[in-house]
Amino acid sequence: MRYYAGLDVSLEETSICVVDENGEIVKELRSASEPEALVISLRTVDRRLERIGLEACPLSAWLHDGLRDAGWPAICIETRKANAAMKTMPNKTDRNDARALAQIMRTGWFREVHVKSRQSRLWRSLLVARRTILSEMGSIENVVRAILREAGIKLGKPSRTAFDQRIREMAASDLDVMDLIRPLLTVLKTMMEQLATLTKQVLDIVKSEETCRRLMSVPGVGPITALAFRATIDRPERFRHSRDVGVHLGLTPSRYQSGETDIQGRISRCGDELTRSVLYEAANSLLVRSKKWSSLKAWGMQIARRRGMARARVAVARKLAVILHRMWSEGEDFRFGKEPSASVAVAS
């Protein structure tokens, strides 16, 4: 007889359900959401478990690694597919969710999620922290601008480094406004210093990481893009084809087909939003700022002339994902290609 377990994980407590190969419930119990506590609880089942399923969540990587290290066959499964099955339950409870997860593991109706290495998770957390500071700095700067506009002061578009000095020069005579703005400027200064600290950490990592340095040979791809791609993909061999990376990052068109209806929509935007956004920024840099000719830029500019720059950026971002994966898999640098002669360029 084969046995399967489903774990419904919450912040403090995890519901566990064990079923046999016929779908009959063998045992139900609750445990603290800690790897050691889960291992102790699973040992009380006293049966050999074929699969142990838990949904992807903030705690899942930590719990998955702990269970795997203890020798248990833990599998992290995709949340959307699991939710579709759990909706068949009449009532939404942790106990019912654990039961549904156990049945999902028994039937095999799940999609396994790759659990990234701890190093990749730390790299991604670093990038998220840096991006959060940038976002909050933008919010505070907008508040400062709004306060100045109410006082009739038009700040213009100073650079981020000149922002503080420009404000002090323009609003120095209005003491009431400066009393409001001064604490915000102090916060911005502190955030700028911490942003520089995080950026230096990114640069130090990229400098010592061979894969990132190779990815940066692509025009438009800088340290942030290279590290984000490295941390998200984690292991290139988990993709059978390089073109699958574009799908994984949500850079391919969504599709709805039913009977005679067949609609191709915008990109699906499923997958890692951070990596998708930095690839889009890299594509824009390649098309707009890069001065060196490459076959990739020529291809993107052809799309821009036919379909517009916005679609060209998305297409180049998708192509970048494919190229970066292929470079990583084969251990090769980017090949710019041979620029066509002037006569060929005019003829085309």
- Specify whether the CB–CB gap between 130 and 202 falls below 8 A: yes
**What pLDDT score was predicted for residue 226?**
97
Q: What is the DSSP string of 322-335?
A: HHHHHHHHHT----
Task: Give the distance, in angstroms, between the CA of residue 21 and the centroid of all CA atoms in the same chain.
Answer: 36
**What pLDDT score was predicted for residue 342?**
53
Angle between helices 223-233 and 175-208 (to 10 degrees): 60
What's the predicted TM-score (pTM) here? Answer: 0.88
Spans of all domains in the chain:
3-107, 118-208, 214-330
In sequence order, the 6+-apart residues with CB closer than 8 A to the CB of 179 are none
Mean pLDDT for each consecutive 10-residue tract of the chain (348 residues)? Answer: 95 96 95 96 94 93 96 93 80 91 93 94 97 96 95 91 92 92 96 97 97 96 97 95 94 84 85 95 95 92 95 96 96 83 48
**What pLDDT score was predicted for residue 344?**
44
**What pLDDT score was predicted for residue 341?**
63
**What pLDDT score was predicted for residue 164?**
93
Residue 224 CA to residue 203 CA, distance in Å, equals 8
Name the CATH superfamily for 3-107.
ATPase, nucleotide binding domain (3.30.420.40)
